[in-house]
Amino acid sequence: AAGVIQSPRHLIKEKRETATLKCYPIPRHDTVYWYQQGPGQDPQFLISFYEKMQSDKGSIPDRFSAQQFSDYHSELNMSSLELGDSALYFCASSSRQGLHEQYFGPGTRLTVT
Amino acid sequence: AQTVTQSQPEMSVQEAETVTLSCTYDTSESDYYLFWYKQPPSRQMILVIRQEAYKQQNATENRFSVNFQKAAKSFSLKISDSQLGDAAMYFCACQGGSEKLVFGKGTKLTVNP
């Protein structure tokens, strides 16, 4: 079965640079979630989109923005990167017609040097 | 808002034995869902089991089962016939009206041969 696809899998950036993370949800899933997992931490919710509209917002810095496109893929844009942004970024998708189950992608490991 | 507490940072079990991971939660929602996710060393987040709060019957998925005590706000995971491949970090999560997942801090499970 098709899973959530994230790209790139690994990304190394310098401080103050910009990064763009991409997420391709499971086909026919209409909702995308972004989570950030720091070293030794649990995943923290950043933002979600349903049918291309922002549906919820968590502890996402103002330096970050995201959107969902007409083909349901989503992008997380991160600017003015800081050392503390180094983390594993997960995208998850679900269907509101389904069982409220969120399926996670493999994550993008971002390292800021 | 939801909070999730996992009081066991680490647990260990002998191969083929049974182990129970604890989780308590708090939510103001009347309709919510509870999940257990497994995160092996690959860092992939894998959905293990789901429980709808309105269902009294405990969920079961092969060797994995839950003990859902709604009044006590308790949601423990039992792993039977433990296998080496079960070694991972296990996260308990709660999903309320906003649909975002709120995770506990996790329990690291070691399986001894």
Reported as a pLDDT band with limits 50, 70 and 90, residue B16 is very high
For B6, name the nearest residue in chain A, comparing CA atoms only.
Answer: A42
Q: What distance, in Å, lies between the first and last C-alpha atoms of chain A?
A: 37
Number of independent structural domains in chain A:
1
User: Could you list the residue range(s) of the whole structural domain that residue A102 is in?
Assistant: 5-112
- Per CB-CB distance under 8 Å, the chain B contacts of A102 are 35, 47, 95, 101
Instruction: Please list every residue in chain B whose beta carbon sits closer than 8 Å to the beta carbon of residue A58.
Output: 100
Query: What is the distance in angstroms between the Cα of A100 and the nearest Cα belonging to chain B?
Result: 8
CATH code: domain of residue A10: 2.60.40.10
B59: which DSSP letter?
Answer: P
Chain segment A21-42, per-residue pLDDT in tens: 999 999 989 999 999 999 999 9
Residue from the list A45, A55, A88 with its beta carbon closest to the beta carbon of B101: A45
pLDDT for residue A57 is more than 90: yes
pLDDT at position B40 is 97
What single-letter amino acid sits at B55?
A: K
B105 near A CB under 8 A: yes
Q: How many CB pairs below 8 A link A and B? A: 59
Confidence of residue A45 (pLDDT cuts 50, 70, 90): very high
Contact B102, B93 (CB under 8 A): yes
What are the pLDDT digits (tens) for B56-67? 899 999 999 999
CA angle, residues B95, B96, B100, in degrees to nearest 5: 55
Q: What is the pLDDT of residues B37-58, one digit of tens each?
A: 999 999 999 999 999 999 889 9
Instruction: Please name the residue of chain A whose CA is at the shortest distance from the CA of residue B4.
Output: A42
Per-residue model confidence (pLDDT) at position A1: 73
DSSP string for A14-49: -TT--EEEEEEPPTT--EEEEEEE-TT---EEEEEE
Is residue B85 very low, low, confident or very high in pLDDT (cuts 50, 70, 90)?
A: very high
Q: Which domains does chain B have, with CATH numbers?
A: 2-112 (2.60.40.10)
Check whether A87 has a pLDDT greater than 90. yes
CB contact under 8 A, A45 and B102: yes
- What is the pLDDT averaged over residues B16-33? 95
Say whether the peptide bond before residue A8 is cis (omega within 30 degrees of 0).
yes
Q: Decide if B45 and A104 are in contact by the 8 Å CB cutoff.
A: yes
Q: Per-residue pLDDT for B98 more than 80?
A: no
Asked if the Cβ–Cβ distance from A48 to B99 is below 8 Å, we say: yes
Bridge partners (DSSP) listed for residue B65: B60, B78
Residues 28-67 of B with CB under 8 A from A: 33, 35, 37, 42-47, 50, 52
- Residue B36 in contact with residue B66, Cβ under 8 Å? yes
